[in-house]
Amino acid sequence: YFWNSLRIAFLVTFAAIVFSILGAYGLSRRRIRGKNIYIMSVFSTQMFPVVLLLIPIYNVVFAIGLFNTVVGIALSQLILCLPFAVWMLKGYFDNLPSVIEDSARIDGCNLFQTLWRVVLPISAPGIMVAAFYSFVVSWGDYLVVSVISQSQHTATLTLALQRLASSLQLKWGQVAAATVLTIAPTILLFSFVQTRLVEGLTSGAVKS
């Protein structure tokens, strides 16, 4: 269960960072026709509770043959955390001076070289916030896992904890151990990145 939770969370975090960086940078720096409408349509998904999205997510995952798979669970959780990650990183990229990117292009960097060598290093705090948020959403998710996972091979810690707590013979020792395993990685990760998290949140929240 711990290994399933860990690999799903890392898969969701990696995919969320890659897609949110590309999407947020494009929305921040490129002239796109109907950009405001696109931004509002993406961010409006955060207005709906997760319960309302379970049936559409289930239908999509089942239709593409990823039901009861690690990839299917990760894809479903990615839908939940990607809009916020794009929004947060777009606000962070908006605060970066474009003069730095212009200087990189004068030195011969193309678009992806500018993004990789210039933009991403100075955007590390904001990227860390998006990564931490994506990891926490995936790690603590129960609703999506309870719908997509139908076997022990894809069950996560949150699903195992619910099964232990709802069993006829409640074993408090196992429940307490599973609870510690569930909350410990988040606490440890936060203790390592808390300084960058505060920096990234404050930088992305205020527009100069």
Task: Please report the pLDDT score of residue 204 as a whole number.
Answer: 46
* CA dihedral sign, ordered 201, 204, 207, 208: positive
| C-alpha dihedral, 94 to 100 to 105 to 110, nearest 10° | -50
Cα distance between residue 107 and residue 121, in whole Å: 17
User: Which residue ranges in the chain fall short of pLDDT 50?
Assistant: 204-208
Task: Please report the pLDDT score of residue 19 as a whole number.
Answer: 95
Task: Please report the pLDDT score of residue 200 as a whole number.
Answer: 54
- Whole-prediction pTM value? 0.84
